[in-house]
Each structure stands twice: as structure tokens, then as C-alpha cells.
Structure 1
Amino acid sequence: MLILFRLLSRCPLWLLHHIGAALGWLAFALSPTYRRRFRANAAQAGVPWSQVRPAVAAAGRMVAELPWLWMRPQDQPLGARVRIEGEQHIRAAHAQGRGLIFLTPHLGCFEVTAQAYAEHFGAECGPLTALYRPPRKAVLRKLVDTARHRPGLKTAPATLAGVRQMIRALKAGEAVGLLPDQVPPEGLGVWAPFFGRPAYTMTLASRLAHQSAASILLVWGERLPGGAGYVVRFSPMAEPLPLEAESAAACINRAMERLILQCPGQYLWGYHRYKHPRALPHEGGQP
């Protein structure tokens, strides 16, 4: 797997995106379950098929671009491939001397958002620690661990140790990033509306914010056509984050909805957002 990713990382981004688009449509055609969930989630959000149809190919592009993003030589920065919008919000947040929490849904290229922050702001503002769920297969764990270690970028596993790592980073005035529309294990979230339907929503984002007094910014990475690169957009929350867990989760879900509706053609509509959470392992270790 590592060798395959290294070989694919040498391909131009436009070619990987073409391959990914074909794979996205192939998966859509071959999996009735995925196809039904995709259409049902879009219908729940009230987004017409004409606007979500591009998301079929976008899901494949998201997978196909990973070798380029993960295995690209570290002496080859993103550079002109990424345009930043909303830089003033980052500088204003850091000027307050507090930590910074970035929230992004499964929209566009969320992998590039962390790399873009690390590359553009890491040296000046400190590293970003991104929360991730380690793959179950050992070969994939090695691949992810190798790929995500880049200058200005750290990773924290979705465990108690990883949460403690993120709290330390925030208290040191650094940044952390997570996907709040990811379904957490049972007991680590609350049911809150997401596009009008109850969805099990993590409380970690609001807990981190309240425990550390960190600022919150929204971010998402728009994938440009033809492999031209990405636009990474930073913006503030539209409303203050409530203290109560259910209200905070609903507030964050509303923020994710607004981002998704900016570009429904790049959201992962096939993600099982409304599933029931898995049981928390008895041995603990989860956040």
C-alpha cells in the first residue's frame, strides 16, 4: 500500500482527480446502499439532485488525491496550489493569545485545510494538531502515521491521550482541528438536529472550547476544477457557542449546514451521518 501511494503521488493532481471521478461514479453505480443513503441525505437537506450530482465524482476525487497530499515530498510545498481566504480571522484569533479550534465538515478537501494552515501559519503561530481516528488495519495505520507528519502539523488519535494532547496544545496557544460531523462512540455525543433530523453529534468540540477558552473558526477547502488546486476558506462562527451540551451541538450543526450549503457538490452525502453510535469499548481509551 505504501509503495502504491508513493507511485500515485508522482501523478499530476489533474490526473488523480480524473481517476477519482471515475471511481466515484463506479462506487455509486455498484452500491445500492451507498446510492440510497446519498440520495436520502441530500433529500433530507432539501438540496436538489442537480446540485448534489457533482458530489458523486467529488467523493472519488477525495480518495484519489490522498497520495498526492500525503506522500508528496516535503520539499514540495502546496505553494500556489492553495489560496487562503479569511486570513484576518486567524491573525485576530491568535492576537488574543488563546488557542484556536478549527471545525470542518466532510466537505471538499478537508485534508488540505490542515496542511495549508501548517504551511502558511505554522512557523509564526505554532503547529496545528489534527484529531484523527487510527485505521484498524496495521498497514493503513503505518501509512497514515507516515503521511500526516509534516512540518507544522501534528496528529492526535481519537483517544483520551489524544484529547489530552489537544488540550495541552490549546492551552499553549496553538491550534487544533477536528470534524464535528463525525459520529462519535456512544456516550460521547448528544442527539441534535442536522438538516432537520436528529443526528448523534460529538460534544468534544464544545468541551475543548469551554475548557480552554479557545477561539473557534470554521474552515473548508474547496477543490478547484482541472486539478488547479484549492481555496481554503476560514470564517468565524455566526453565533456564540452555548454552554449546555445539546444547545452547543445544535449550534455547531447549524454552522456545518451553512458551510455545506455553500458547495453541496463537494459534500460527502454518502457519509452515514444519521447512524446510531457504536458502543464504547469496555477497556476505555476513547475520549
Structure 2
Amino acid sequence: MRFAFFILWLLHFLPLSAINAIARPVGWLAYHLVAPRRRVGRRNLEACFPDWTPAARDRLLRDHFHAMARFMLEYGIVWYSPDARFRELVSYKNLHYLTDLKDENVIILYPHFVGFEMCVYRLNQDVPLVSIYARQKNEVLDRRIYQGRQRFSNAKIISRTEGLRPLLKAMKDHTPLLYLPDQDMGAKEAVFVPFFGVPAATITAMSRIARLTRARIVPVIPRRVSPDRYELEVFPPWDDFPCGDETEDAARMNAFIEARVREQPEQYFWLHKRFKTRPDGDKPFY
């Protein structure tokens, strides 16, 4: 693991375009060698894009492996680059939708796209954040990721196991909560609502937290817009959320994420088992 960190440290000296070039053969190898994840990605794409030809879905999956390889290799930049480099690599679009709410509680809806680490580090330079952290099994990796999340001394890190109370306390001074909602966390505290037409177990915590804190929901989407540039787009705050029906809230969230995925499908996290949890009586998805 330490050797891997050394390689990432070396890579951070390269321009993004060079890392992009290196990621292409790495992604090609991963596509061919990491068969379990290839099968997961293929199954997800079959379900979400049933009208596409198998060849089109396979091209998308290969592009996604390239994007994921680049995502992993860019951790060198995320962890080791000078602070000023983030300002060169990531631009904002409509940041005012977020900064105008500095005196209100805010939940940042932030789905899993491959630019999410690079862009959130840029955001954290200018905006304090509450971040929920899931511990890693490898202690060395866990320590490195945790240290990275605090590199700007502008984030409050709350463990996923700590529960709701520390989270609400961390938000009391109007520090925005960074909320990543689009992974299968099991059936507990989840509802089944469509995602690309497939019933997906979707956690409803955003509705509860918004209700308890009277927080505004501000969607933020990271995009890789060129081989050497990212853009972080902030969308207008949602009205009428929560609406009083957690299932309707979850469906609204999934519909928004789906629309953004269709704009940049190769950049979404297709290798996650998003549909692992099934409604009672359904056969296994994977």
C-alpha cells in the first residue's frame, strides 16, 4: 500500500492530460482482468439502457473503466498537489446558489461521479463542509483518506457509525452537509423508487435531516469537461423539500440524478451494485 502511495505521489507532478493518457491502458487492463466488476457494470447498463445495443453499452462500459482508472490515479493530485493547483483545474458554475445561503442550513446533494473527489476538494477550499466518513478496512488506506479529507482544515468529519446526533450538531453553525445518497445501503431506512425505471433501495435520510434542520437542498454536480479541466456546477435550491412524503422525496432525488447521469453516462459509478437490495419476492439482480 505504501508503494502505491509513492506511485500516486510521483503522478501528482504530471499534468492531468498525461494522467488521462496513462489511465487509458490501465482502464483497458482493468476491464479485461477485473471480471466481477465488469459483470456488475454490464448488468447495470443492461437494466438502465435496455434500448441501447450491446455494442453501445460495451463502449460505454470501456469508457467508464478508463474514467475510473483516471479517478484512482488522480488521488495523487488530490492528496499531494499544492492548494493553488485545484483553482487551476476546477472551475465553478453558479456557485452563488450555495454561497447565498451561508446563513441557512444546507444539504449538498452530491452524487457519485468520477470527478467527485477532485471537485469537492476544490469546493472545500472556499466552503466549510460536514462530511460523512465510512472507515476503510485497510488501516493505512483509512488513515491516508482521513488525512486527505482534512487537508484544508475546513471540514467536519463524522463517522457513518456515529449516528444522527453528531451530524446535526456539526450543522448548527450552518456548515453545509455533503450528502452522497446514491448507493445501495440495504433495505433499512430505505424505500424502493425508480432509478432508470428499476426499483432501487434509496435511503430517506435526506428528508429527515432536512426536516429536522430546516435545511435547503442544493444539488452540486462534478463534471470532467476536458482531459485537463473539471467543472463543479451548482443548481438552484429545491423548493417544497421535504414534501411530507419520504417516498416522493426519494423519487424526486433519483429522477434528478438520473437526468444528470444521462448527460455524462461514462462518468457515473456503474461498478457499484446499485440494485443489490431487492423488494420482497424479487430474484437476485446480480
Q: TM-score, normalised by structure 1?
A: 0.84
- 1:38 CA drift (Å): 1.6
- Say if 1:134 and 1:223 are closer, same or farther in 2 by CA, change over 3 A: same
Aligned to 2:230: 230
| 57-66 or 106-115, which deviates more | 106-115
Give the unaligned 5+ runs of structure 2: 279-286
1:84 correspondence with 2:92: yes
- 1:184 CA drift (Å): 1.8
* Equivalence map 1:47-86=2 (5 Å): 48=52, 49=56, 52-53=60-61, 54-74=63-83, 76-86=84-94
Give the unaligned 5+ runs of structure 1: 278-287
Q: TM-score, normalised by structure 2?
A: 0.84
The CA deviation string for residues 225-244 of structure 1, in whole angstroms up to 9 with x for no partner, is 32x22111111366633322
Q: How far apart, CA to CA, are the structure 1 residues paired with 2:67 and 2:261?
A: 13
| 199-208 or 17-26, which deviates more | 17-26
Q: How far apart, CA to CA, are the structure 1 residues paired with 2:43 and 2:146?
A: 34
Aligned to 1:156: 158
Which of 10, 27, 42 matches 1:39? 42
- Say if 1:67 and 1:180 are closer, same or farther in 2 by CA, change over 3 A: same
Contact 2:8 2:73 in 1 (8 A): no
Letter in 2 for 1:229: R
Q: How far apart, CA to CA, are the structure 1 residues paired with 2:168 and 2:120?
A: 18
Contact 1:114 1:153 in 2 (8 A): no
Q: Report how many residues are paired.
A: 267
SS in 2 for 1:159: helix
- Say if 1:170 and 1:154 are closer, same or farther in 2 by CA, change over 3 A: closer
Q: How far apart, CA to CA, are the structure 2 residues paired with 1:13 and 1:128?
A: 26
SS in 1 for 2:255: helix
Q: How far apart, CA to CA, are the structure 2 residues paired with 1:129 and 1:56?
A: 30
Aligned to 2:27: 24
- Say if 1:55 and 1:274 are closer, same or farther in 2 by CA, change over 3 A: same
Aligned to 1:216: 217
Aligned to 1:11: 14
- Say if 1:44 and 1:185 are closer, same or farther in 2 by CA, change over 3 A: closer
Aligned to 1:283: none
The CA deviation string for residues 129-160 of structure 1, in whole angstroms up to 9 with x for no partner, is 22231111111111111211122233222122
Aligned to 1:113: 119
SS in 1 for 2:201: strand
RMSD: 2.3
- Say if 1:129 and 1:26 are closer, same or farther in 2 by CA, change over 3 A: same
Q: How far apart, CA to CA, are the structure 2 residues paired with 1:27 and 1:213?
A: 44
Q: How far apart, CA to CA, are the structure 1 residues paired with 2:99 and 2:145?
A: 30
Letter in 1 for 2:270: W
Q: How far apart, CA to CA, are the structure 1 residues paired with 2:6 and 2:207?
A: 39
Q: How far apart, CA to CA, are the structure 1 residues paired with 2:185 and 2:239?
A: 24
